[in-house]
Structure 1
């Protein structure tokens, strides 16, 4: 395999482990520890997660407005540094406002890796005549989830919550070099290395609106489990202390998922693959609360981990193929929908947990929203066929 391609994809993997595994997802397995040792309340935990997604949404908005690849590259590199700074700050204080600022900045850094970094990598792949798939790149998310869950289980006997945040900071510093050094500076020309044009082929307005609505539902389905699954499982009968194993299972399911969904999409098409992933994700969300027991929780976690990141990978890959010269613009627009759901979801779930004394209602709500999203994807297939018919009937000049 091309060494240059491996290094570029490797930069993407390490950047996602840094901005999501360290800066974002370390918060989930550390949440019970922070509640026990640092006095973090249930509702406050939900608001911190919502603030993180507000930062991510802000970053998505910025990404959707920027066309200059050089500026995107500069902001991507700044985002990698912010990921480390925001992680270190979590261990410096027990002040809720300081934590909130850290989570907001961590959200900005997540957008830098997920959108700017992904867009730069997609542009590089298309420009250098490689297959425009991001499965290997997005494996960094699953590796980040599994890695931080394993790290918390390894650190917990010896380190308190504060020292674990600093240990994650040190890990982030190790990840920083490949994330920065292995990604080449971008080429502004709209041509491949062989001199061929890279035309943008945007979808219809109706297609984009339905797509964004479906992705909003996917964001809602994702965020509740991703944020609260450790706390949810720990509170289920007979599963106290098992939450980190379930979070580890999510990461194990997610690590190979994007490569698998690339292969599935090649055989059955992008939209059919998205619909299948959505259905399996609904099952994964409901298994822990409807069946009960550790086996059901682990199977649900594997299904959830194996589908949510597959949906993200498929959607962002589709966006990159529609706009090869400026992939982060549509990626940013799609993520605005996904990110809006991620602000609403944790806050609603935290409020439900306080009023009902359980996180379970949040999972049922997430499954219902995901069902709506699946129906929207089915509608999108009809719109895709309509657009293809109209395009075929339109004479070219």
Structure 2
């Protein structure tokens, strides 16, 4: 009985993480909330106010949004190189400070170049935090809880979406300058909370199993393409959902904003639910199920099924916009179980592919929307096709991986 009791005790320890580890998870949550949830998404509801206050012309204000996206891509590309020079902890803290400083700096409309530099810096901080924060923490979490931990970390993105539709309008009642300062203050508070809770030591490395597979490069490349297609498939909801409800369905901006809040609520809880599913079913199976559900949800606006279905579509797509992120990160861990350095490199590549495809899809869908005379259904059909393609690639890659040696896959 003693060996069995000891074995049960070890299993219980693997299912639970220490308070210090969960504190580190909350630090990464704060980092994703600052770098992505606020530094990226808070500008969307601020855009009309910036134009209305005559700080910038509409075209210039749109370019400022593009500057943030370009900065995000730069941060995703250079984040690991920066951390190798400054150390991981210094880089994480520095980038949270940069995102915070960008909000304070934007409280004064000094000029277009000033704003462009700080919006670019905010995007770069977000891209760097996306690449570094979760991989800095998840190796310390017991494997049986990594899905849940990843979900909590990326829940910060969804909280930022909700804040963009709730907190920002409240702050705008006090004035545009006060709104930028208020967002900076929120980032300062989150930075203080996260400052000292990052893991201080490297996780114990797991000895390679004699039966361990070599890195599955083919499966990884397929995963990069799937994640990129997924990013493109979300674009119709992320850019056109509010406009579709307001103008396409003639329900007005207020109704469109309500659907955006529902989208944000889904984005808040999606990562935790997806992570919990992955802890039970595995990241690969959970990701395939996510692709299937997303394909159905993205298609709903094109089918004209009514308000209840559109509500479901908004919540489900919002949930997977953030929920797919921990699934892909966990899937990389499944494909490279004994290669932690390669896991971080693979996550950087996946993030870059995501950013590139989402930016390209945003411009491409915008062009198609104008070319088609405002055909919303076309956009949602194409988004659905991207999701189906992602699922098909994953299934085909799985079949091929069973037919050829691991080294070739």
TM-score normalized with structure 2 length: 0.81
> Structure 2 CA distance, aligned partners of 1:367 and 1:43?
30
Deviation by residue 1:130-153 (Cα, 9 ceiling, x = unmatched): 733312222222222222322134
Please identify the structure whose Cα radius of gyration is greater.
2
Instruction: Supply the RMSD in Å over aligned alpha carbons.
Output: 3.3
Does the C-alpha gap of structure 1 residues 96 and 11 become closer, same or farther in structure 2, counting only changes over 3 Å? same
Aligned mates of 1:221, 1:96 — CA distance in 2? 32
Q: Partner of 1:281 in structure 2?
A: 294
Give 1:223 deviation, angstroms.
Answer: 4.2
Using the alignment, how far apart are the partners of 1:101 and 1:191 within structure 2?
A: 40
Q: CA deviation at 1:5?
A: 1.9
Q: CA deviation at 1:283?
A: 3.2
Structure 2 unaligned residues grouped into runs of 5+: 1-15
Counting only pairs closer than 5 Å after superposition, residues 209-358 of structure 1 correspond to structure 2 as 209-236=221-248, 237-291=250-304, 294-321=307-334, 322=336, 323-325=339-341, 327-355=343-371, 358=374
Instruction: Return the alpha-carbon distance in structure 2 between the equivalents of residues 359 and 41 of structure 1.
Output: 27
Q: 1:25 and 2:41 equivalent?
A: yes
Q: 1:98-127 CA distances to partner (integer Å, 9 max, x unpaired)?
A: 44333322221112222111110123326x
Match of 1:132 in 2: 146
Separation of aligned partners in 1, 2:208 and 2:252:
53
Structure 2: distance between partners of 1:276 and 1:218: 13
1:308-341: CA deviation from partner (whole Å, max 9, x where unpaired): 2221111112224523246421110111111111
Provide runs of 4+ in structure 1 moved above 6 Å: 39-43, 198-201
- The question of 1:379 aligning with 2:379 is answered no
Match of 1:148 in 2: 164
Residue of structure 2 equivalent to 1:171:
186
Tell me the SS of whatever aligns to 2:103: helix
Higher relative contact order (CA 8 A, sep 6+): 1
C-alpha change, 1:103 and 1:348, in structure 2 (3 Å) is: farther
1:43/1:354 contact within 8 Å kept: no
**In structure 2, C-alpha distance between the alignment counterparts of 1:94 and 1:297, rounded to whole Å:** 42
Taking structure 1 as the reference length, what is the TM-score of the superposition? 0.83
Offset of residue 260 of structure 1: 1.6
- Residue 59 of structure 1, CA deviation: 1.7
SS in 1 for 2:253: coil
Q: Summarize the alignment of residues 9-88 of structure 1 with structure 2, pairs less than 5 Å apart.
A: 9-38=25-54, 47-63=63-79, 68=84, 71-88=87-104
Asked whether the 8 Å contact 2:236–2:365 carries over to 1, the reply is yes
User: Helix, strand or coil for the counterpart of 2:254?
Assistant: coil
Counterpart of 1:395? none
- Distance change in 2, residues 1:50/1:273 (3 Å): farther
Distance change (3 Å), C-alpha of 1:65 and 1:267? same
Q: 1:29 to 1:320 in 2, by over 3 A?
A: farther
Compared with structure 1, are the counterparts of its residues 328 and 45 closer, same or farther at alpha carbon in structure 2 (3 Å cutoff)?
Answer: farther
1:79 Cα deviation from its structure 2 partner = 1.0
Equivalent of residue 365 in structure 1, options 382, 385, 409: 382
- What does the per-residue CA deviation read over 1:346-393, in whole Å, with 9 as the maximum and x for residues that have no partner? 223344455556483544433332332222122222234335xx359x
Name the CA shift for 1:114/1:343 in 2 (closer, same or farther; >3 Å). same
Check 1:378–1:277 CA distance in 2 against 1; reply closer, same or farther (3 A cut).
Answer: same
Shift of 1:268: 3.7
Give, in whole Å, the separation in 2 of the partners of 1:308 and 1:82.
25
**Structure 2 CA distance for partners of 1:50 and 1:108, relative to 1, 3 Å:** same
Q: Name the structure 1 match of 2:9.
A: none
